[in-house]
Amino acid sequence: MAARLHSFEHPEAALPEPTAVAPADWGLSLSWPPPQRLAEWLQALRPCCVVLDPDPERAAFLQLFGVSACHQPLAPLTIVPGERNTLLLQAQRRLGLPDPRWFDPAPSLAVLGSSGQQQERRWGELGLSPRAADLLLLPRLPQLVLDRLQDAQALQAWLEILLAHGAQVLLLQPLAEGACRPAPGVAVLGPEAEPELLRFWEERCR
């Protein structure tokens, strides 16, 4: 019998019986289960020959509990042009993200994530200034729970549209695996750029 791939993509999805998983089968783990299903989840994964997981922490957790897990980053997400508007609508409905095209003026800087309470408070104070109308602050974005691959694609589509409308993105925490892959030539700034950008905006908004 040929080896099969069992995908554990959605935390509420039905899990296969351990007897339904052959020793040669592979698993793909993409999300954490609810706490009450943790034992059932581990039991379903253990019979797999190998379980691939894009989350290194989750892969290490699985290994700790006797699962033959391996950290395997996902390939960059690809968005079919005709699906972008549908995914953007999903980003609004499921992820609660504002359509970047709504803003007037368009965001010139989007700060995604948080580097700590003190810095977050400073950004928040800037956000209250009328001179910061083109500053978009989303400190909780990296904590979004993406239950399905389509959620990650929706986040990627939202980010692509944000960048296409001229925003610089300051990424203070990693986003979902596979997301935040901007088009060539578009820069996404890392945490090391935060002090200089914060000083610039504080001077601008005085």
According to the 3-state scheme, what is the secondary structure of 96-150? CCCCHHHCCCCCCEEEECCCCHHHHHHHHHHHCCHHHCCEEEECCHHHCCCCCHH
- 63/69 Cα distance (integer angstroms): 6
Helix (H, G, I), strand (E, B) or coil at 183: coil
pTM higher than the cut 0.75: no
Report the pLDDT value the prediction gives residue 177, as an integer from 0 to 100.
58
Asked if 105 and 30 sit in the same domain, the reply is no
Residue with tokens 């905006």: 201
Which domain range does residue 145 map to? Answer: 81-204
Cα–Cα distances (Å) from 106 to 103, 150, 198, in that order, read: 5, 26, 19
Asked if 103 and 190 sit in the same domain, the reply is yes
Cα–Cα distances (Å) from 153 to 33, 34, 95, 130, in that order, read: 20, 23, 11, 33
Asked if 61 and 120 sit in the same domain, the reply is no
Residue with tokens 């910061």: 132
The tally of CA atoms less than 13 A away on the side-chain side of residue 32 is 10
Per-residue tokens: 196: 């200089």
Q: Tell which of 51, 71, 91 closes a domain.
A: 71
Asked if 119 and 62 sit in the same domain, the reply is no
pLDDT in tens, 148-192: 778 888 888 888 888 888 888 898 887 765 566 665 556 688 899
What mean pLDDT comes out for the span 98-109?
Answer: 87
Helix (H, G, I), strand (E, B) or coil at 187: coil
Asked if 59 and 144 sit in the same domain, the reply is no
What mean pLDDT comes out for the span 25-48?
Answer: 85
Q: Per the structure, how many domains does the chain have?
A: 2
Q: Is residue 85 part of a domain?
A: yes
Question: Does 82 or 58 have the greater pLDDT score?
Answer: 58
Q: Is residue 76 part of a domain?
A: no
- 28/8 Cα distance (integer angstroms): 6
pLDDT in tens, 76-93: 566 667 788 888 888 898
